[in-house]
Amino acid sequence: MSASSTPRVLDTFLTPRHQALWEDVDAFADEEIRPRVTHMETARYVDRKVARLLAARGWFGVTIPKAYGGMQAGHVAKTILIHRLALVSAAAAAILQASLIPVAALLHFGTERQRADLLPGVADGSVLLSIAVTEPDQGGHIGGMTTAAEWDGKAWILTGTKAHIGNSQIADLHVVVARTAPPGTRTSEALTAFLVSGERRGVSAARYVGAFGLRGFGFGGIGFDRVRLPPENVLGEVGQGLAVAQSSSILYGRPNLTAVSLGLHEAALDLTTQYVDNRPRYQGTLSDVGVVRDRLGAMAARLHTARVLTYHAVDMLDHGTDCDDQLITAKTFGHEAAVDTGRDAMELHGANGLDTSGEVSRVFRDMQTTYAPAGTGEVQRLRLAQTALREHRPRPAPEDEPERIPWSVRFADHLRHVDPDPTAV
């Protein structure tokens, strides 16, 4: 696997503190996560120990302000954590990233009271979060959700089922988006986000069953059967649920999944160079064969491009710059490029790649999981096409149409993080 030094191409984006964090997480992944990978692949339950180890490092608080006990280290730092963990175990990286997404919801929409009550526990890992938006039938169409909360005069009564929720089995607190307005209401006003403890009566997480990829990370269903919620459990305002879901997905979900796919991409190239360099062929090894080198070169070119796109996009977030489209591009391109490299990796391993307990097949399976979450490829390209078309069709300035202002601009003040505290990492 890769040595711990950071690639020179990332020098523009990485401060000495980022580089120290990079080395720290590499050492952690090698010592603490690598020995658990086989167990995570085969276990019939989610090993909470991984979340506990991540919590002990304070990494669930990477973007939480120091005033609430977090690292306040920003989005490049968050990407380093997820990317470098994914190089060793994408499932471990997924455990971290899934609980970091709802941090965005609390930071951007929580009241001061909610932030003060909850963020210190999130930062020290004692409160593990999930964000529950997707439903079995609605998929990426948020407006089609049927989970609903009704006000009975004293409390909200939440009923419905969510699907594919990251850390569903181990999260302590779920940010749940539900319908709170009658049919016919615009989606931008019809949904509301709620804070729902996993311990509340009526909340039930489906049992873990390993998926095609990311084994050891649970992304399952959660049922809500007439769960009673006091008004102070509303996150943001009633009717702001779409904004909570979209902003968390765009500002945290996309870069997090991009970082998972970058770690996998790098793992695929590392495994393949090692393999072809050691596999005897003729008087030398497979790596002497011109056609094999040509494929390795293409894999390396894709990885270089994905790296730069990934870190460039989160560096823009840390600078409080308009970067919604860069986050989308990094996610959609990063996934596609990684999967292309994964296919090359599998083919260059020949029949030996097909061993289901082998590393390259795990990496290839895990790569398939970064397509759907935080916006599928089609949905991302639709957004990019909208921007491209707008550039050719002058329309009123975004101030006249607030929903057109990119999330990275709306929350620029919260997101900006150009001068990390020296003690943060």
Let me know if 392 is exposed, middle or buried by CB neighbors in 10 A (0-12, 13-18, 19+). exposed
Give the one residue of 131, 173, 264, 339 binding ligand FAD; rule: CB under 6 A: 131
Residue pair 158/147 in contact (Cβ under 8 Å)? The answer is: yes
Give the one residue of 139, 223, 239, 320 binding ligand FAD; rule: CB under 6 A: 139
DSSP character at residue 137: T
Give the one residue of 121, 353, 373, 420 binding ligand FAD; rule: CB under 6 A: 373
C-alpha 419/C-alpha 408 separation (Å) is 18
Residue pair 136/163 in contact (Cβ under 8 Å)? The answer is: yes
Tell me, by CB under 6 A, how many residues bind ligand FAD. Answer: 19
Residue pair 69/55 in contact (Cβ under 8 Å)? The answer is: no
Minimum distance from CB of 130 to ligand FAD (Å)?
6
**151: phi then psi, degrees, rounded to nearest 5:** -85, 125
376 binds ligand FAD (CB under 6 A): yes
Window 76-105: residues binding ligand FAD (CB under 6 A): 98
Pure H helices in 43-160: 48-56, 74-88, 90-109, 112-123
378 binds ligand FAD (CB under 6 A): yes
Q: State which residue has the least CB distance to ligand FAD.
A: 139
Q: Which is nearer to ligand FAD, 343 or 383 (CB)?
A: 383
**216: phi then psi, degrees, rounded to nearest 5:** 105, -15
C-alpha 291/C-alpha 297 separation (Å) is 10
Q: Which is nearer to ligand FAD, 97 or 310 (CB)?
A: 97
Q: Which is nearer to ligand FAD, 308 or 372 (CB)?
A: 372
C-alpha 196/C-alpha 176 separation (Å) is 7
Rg of the chain taking only CA atoms, in angstroms: 21
CA of 28: how far to CAs of 22, 50, 59, in Å? 10, 11, 12
133 binds ligand FAD (CB under 6 A): yes
Q: Which is nearer to ligand FAD, 65 or 139 (CB)?
A: 139
Minimum distance from CB of 297 to ligand FAD (Å)?
31
* Residue written as token pair 């057109």: 404
Minimum distance from CB of 43 to ligand FAD (Å)?
17
SS (H, E, C) 372-410: CCCCCHHHHHHHHHHHHHHHHCCCCCHHHCHHHCCHHHH
219 binds ligand FAD (CB under 6 A): yes
Window 246-305: residues binding ligand FAD (CB under 6 A): none
166 binds ligand FAD (CB under 6 A): yes
Minimum distance from CB of 46 to ligand FAD (Å)?
13
132 binds ligand FAD (CB under 6 A): yes
C-alpha 291/C-alpha 187 separation (Å) is 53
Minimum distance from CB of 221 to ligand FAD (Å)?
11
Q: Which two tokens stand for residue 179?
A: 């319908």
Give the one residue of 372, 384, 409, 412 binding ligand FAD; rule: CB under 6 A: 372
Minimum distance from CB of 241 to ligand FAD (Å)?
12
Q: Which is nearer to ligand FAD, 167 or 233 (CB)?
A: 167
Residue pair 298/222 in contact (Cβ under 8 Å)? The answer is: no
Q: Which is nearer to ligand FAD, 244 or 292 (CB)?
A: 244
* Residue written as token pair 């289901």: 356
Position 263: which residue type?
A: G
Minimum distance from CB of 167 to ligand FAD (Å)?
7
Binding mask 322-361 for ligand FAD (x = CB under 6 A): ----------------------------------------
Minimum distance from CB of 141 to ligand FAD (Å)?
6
238 binds ligand FAD (CB under 6 A): no
Q: Which residues sit at the interface with ligand FAD, rule CB under 6 A?
A: 98, 130-134, 139-140, 164-166, 214, 219, 369, 372-373, 376, 378-379
